[in-house]
Amino acid sequence: MTDVFAARAAAYYAGKLKAHGATHRGVDWNSVESQELRFAELLRVCDGEPVLSINDFGCGYGALVDYLLRTGRRFDYCGYDAAPAMIDAARARLANTQACTFTSDRSSIAPRDYTVASGVFNVKLDAAETAWRAYVNQELDAIAGMSRRGFAFNMLTAYSDPERKRDDLFYPEPDAVFRYCMSRFSHAVALSHDYPLYEFTVLVRL
């Protein structure tokens, strides 16, 4: 199931990249501002770290690296994406950036202090919600396994306005996701639902 869903997601995002290039629309975000607001929310998990040791799970074309450079953060970064076309785009853009690697080979991801995942659980396409939820939980387990000190991810919220919801997207109950993380990974879990997007962010400290 994991391989099938990951392959379908990779094909979806590769299509977006082909249509829109290495831009926010190429990873299916509405704007640069919303993309960077998500980065800020996710990076709260590693506030105060002088050098970020970080895996970017579902890195797309490497926009998080641009954000880290622009905000003056030092880092040891690995970006993973299931879509080889995304990795090719990231490598082409950021070939000269130090302490920055990209891969589409999941087995090559080394553990780092933190892992972040932005938007990787949103697009379920025609998958049944129960099957997609099981897949999401498997992926969270994998993300935890590549993180030494913590991880963060975001999801669309079940509290989105009904008229804005799409059948091909996943809108879980935030409290259910929070409970899963509390019972599975750590008692140090925070859920943020107070920023102006139809989603929430979960921070897990290990």
- Return the CATH number at 172: 3.40.50.150
φ/ψ (deg, to 5) at 85: -65, -35
Helices (H), the chain: 2-20, 32-42, 63-70, 84-93, 129-145, 174-184
Q: What is the pLDDT of residue 20?
A: 87
Question: How many C-beta neighbours within 10 Å does residue 110 have?
Answer: 11
Entry field: residues in the chain: 206
Q: What is the pTM of this model?
A: 0.94
Number of domains present in the structure of the chain: 1
DSSP strand pairing (147-156 vs 199-205): antiparallel
Q: Report the candidate in 22, 13, 60, 63 with the shortest Cα–Cα distance to residue 40.
A: 63
Which two three-digit tokens encode residue 149? 């000190």
Contact between 152 and 203 (Cβ < 8 Å): yes
Residue 60 belongs to domain spanning:
2-205
DSSP strand pairing (112-117 vs 51-57): parallel
- List the chain pLDDT tens, one digit each, 206 residues: 668 888 888 788 778 878 888 887 777 777 889 999 999 999 999 999 999 999 999 999 999 999 999 999 999 999 999 999 999 999 999 999 999 999 999 999 999 999 999 999 999 999 999 999 999 999 999 999 999 999 999 999 999 999 999 999 999 999 999 999 999 999 999 999 999 999 999 999 99
CA distance 69 to 46: 16
Contact between 29 and 119 (Cβ < 8 Å): yes
CA distance 98 to 157: 36
Residues 6+ apart with CB under 8 A from 102: 59, 62, 78, 79, 80, 81, 87, 90, 91, 94
Question: How many C-beta neighbours within 10 Å does residue 91 have?
Answer: 17
pLDDT tens, position by position, 72-125: 999 999 999 999 999 999 999 999 999 999 999 999 999 999 999 999 999 999
CA distance 38 to 30: 12
